[in-house]
């Protein structure tokens, strides 16, 4: 009678242990087990890092809020400055802010309108120190040039106007007005050729500008130089007949 075959031992599919030399058994760790072990070893470091990151975010948010609030307060203070004294106080208290430059620009315009040329020059220079660039800076440069003309520094003023009118990086509005002012100065000082030249420059910069019409009026007022053709004989005027 044949001996029945010995059945093989069933495999335990749930046992992840791997036999090793010497009868030892190694357990294959799951991801959750590895994460748990890592957390036990480094939980303090991770927690500290998270706390620092959160504090940095909170600090930045607080700083941004304070900066925005400060900017809003400065804007409100500028809006409330309605008199020259208040504008001067605002400009002195916020010297490094662009709105201080705008306050100085307003003060300089008032000085120029009142005929205080030296005060206007100082004001426009202070405005440029704060504004640096952009349309308002171009506007301040135009005012400074005109204030120099008003102060009797005509050569310096005209040189500044020429520079402004020719610089394509400056604001178009300032450039076209500078060209017109040059034409106007040329008209006052009896330089018809310069009037025509700067009127043409106004047209080149911005033919749709209101300054274009003024430049054309200046040009239309120039005397017409009548030139007789070469070799022609001047016409002889006869006296009008007398009545009997």
pLDDT digits (tens, 9 = 90+) for 186-240: 999 999 999 999 999 999 999 999 999 999 999 999 987 544 445 544 443 434 4
- pTM for this entry: 0.62
Tokens of 183: 């034409």
What is the average pLDDT across 82-95? Answer: 80
Whole-number pLDDT of residue 160? 97
Under 8 Å CB-to-CB from 75, ≥6 apart: which residues?
Answer: 99
| Percent of the chain clearing pLDDT 70 (strictly above) | 67
Long-range contacts of 134-138 (CB under 8 A, 24+ apart): 134/171, 135/171, 135/173, 135/174, 136/101, 136/102, 136/105, 138/164, 138/170, 138/171, 138/173, 138/174, 138/175
pLDDT digits (tens, 9 = 90+) for 113-151: 999 999 999 999 999 998 988 999 999 999 999 999 999
């Amino acid at each position: 009678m044949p001996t029945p075959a010995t059945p093989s031992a069933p495999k335990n599919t749930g046992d992840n242990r791997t036999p090793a030399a010497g009868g030892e058994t190694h357990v294959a760790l799951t991801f959750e087990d590895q994460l748990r072990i890592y957390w036990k070893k480094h939980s303090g470091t991770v927690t500290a890092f998270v706390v620092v990151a959160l504090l940095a975010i909170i600090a930045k948010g607080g700083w941004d809020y304070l900066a925005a609030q400060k900017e809003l307060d400065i804007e409100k203070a500028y809006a409330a400055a309605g008199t020259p004294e208040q504008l001067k106080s605002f400009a002195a208290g916020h010297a490094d802010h662009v709105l201080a430059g705008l306050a100085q620009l307003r003060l300089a315009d008032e000085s120029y309108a009142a005929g205080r040329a030296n005060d206007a020059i100082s004001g426009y220079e202070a405005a440029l120190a704060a504004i640096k660039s952009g349309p308002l800076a171009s506007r301040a440069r135009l005012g400074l040039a005109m204030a120099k003309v008003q102060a009797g520094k005509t050569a310096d003023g005209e040189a500044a106007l020429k520079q402004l009118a020719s610089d394509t990086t400056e604001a178009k509005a300032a450039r076209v007005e500078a060209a017109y002012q040059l034409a106007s100065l040329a008209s006052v000082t009896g330089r018809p050729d310069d009037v025509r030249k700067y009127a043409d420059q106004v047209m080149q910069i911005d033919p749709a500008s209101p300054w274009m019409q003024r430049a054309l009026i200046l040009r239309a007022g120039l005397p017409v130089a009548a030139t007789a053709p070469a070799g022609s004989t001047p016409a002889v005027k006869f006296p009008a007949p007398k009545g009997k």
